[in-house]
Amino acid sequence: MKKFLKNLWKNKAWLLMVLPGTIWLLVFSYLPMFGTVLAFKDFKISPGGFIESLVNSEWVGLDNFKFLFTSGDAFRITRNTVVYNLIFIILGLLFAVFVAIILSEIANKKLGKIYQTSMLFPHFLSWVIVSYFVFSFLSFDKGMLNSVLGAFGVDPVSWYSEPKHWPFILVFMNIWKGVGYGSIVYLAAIVGIDRTYFEAARIDGASKWQQIKNITIPLLIPLMIVLTIMAIGGIFRSDFGLFYQVPRNSAVLYPVTDVIDTYIYKGLMNMGNIGMSTAAGLYQSVVGFVLIMTTNFLVKKLDPEYGLF
């Protein structure tokens, strides 16, 4: 105990730095885990408050899960969530690495900083604000895109009532908003690569593409694998704002825009079914945990050095 306290005091500066993040994690990630018991209860509000309501609610076992998976929506929302996230992970990785390499190769560093800041800016915009920008482009009667199409003699498109367009729109918006932020980590890794590798390659007559192919990308692979494993762990979670705000919650678009997160929200707001919403959230967490453990296990089998833990 004495040694433990001595180590705490010795590392007090570092511990104080991580204290706010630790408190946030405990309050918003670990404390709410006690509420997962609602997934196995028929939660009813009683006058005594939340705790009394939780205690007095009837145990229903796996009925909430049965309702979720027999409602007819389970396959659709699971398919949309998994397919979209797979596309986001693959394209997000490719575009983030591509942008990071391009930014690292810009000779004018001031200009590079301007480009980096410009690409990072969309990350800080709320999806609510972005949804209005998208609407200004896609509105049927006043949208900029329909105005351009009309100038070329093309009939206007009712974007918010035709589901076939939205997989492409959602993927584009996700890449547009996230590629700048995603490239920062890779850009930092590229900057940290020993410059002597590139100098030796230039002396040997290697072109820029050969340097990128044989030095930059191989040295980025461990980071790419770690970030991909972490992303796969969240494959059953979706960006709520992207799928709810950007399509403006249009019921016609539900077949291609409804994911687990929006389904939970609508189930909670429209039906007030807290038990089913908690069951869906627990389902997300458990599957995400299994996926991240499985992916890490497979990666370590291929190469132990590339494992997350």
| Cross-strand partners of 59 | 41
Per-position pLDDT tens, the chain of length 309: 778 788 888 888 888 999 999 999 899 888 888 888 888 888 887 777 777 787 788 888 888 887 777 766 778 888 898 899 999 999 999 999 999 999 888 877 788 788 888 888 888 899 999 999 999 999 888 888 888 888 888 888 889 999 999 999 999 999 999 998 889 889 989 988 888 988 898 888 888 889 999 999 999 988 898 888 888 878 888 888 999 999 988 889 989 998 888 888 887 787 777 888 888 888 888 888 888 888 888 878 777 776 667
3-state secondary structure of 104: helix
CA–chain centroid gap for 170, Å, is: 13
pTM of the model: 0.82
Domain boundaries, the chain: 61-302
CA–chain centroid gap for 229, Å, is: 13
How far is CA 122 from each of CA 101, 125, 130, 179, rounded to the nearest angstrom? 20, 5, 9, 9
Cβ-contact 92, 174 below 8 angstroms: yes
How far is CA 119 from each of CA 87, 92, 154, 188, 274, rounded to the nearest angstrom? 20, 14, 32, 15, 39
CATH 1.10.3720.10 fits 61-302, yes or no: yes
3-state secondary structure of 303: coil
Q: Which of these, 82, 85, 84, 175, lies nearest to 130 by C-alpha position? A: 175
Q: For residue 98, which phi and psi values (nearest 5 degrees)?
A: -60, -50
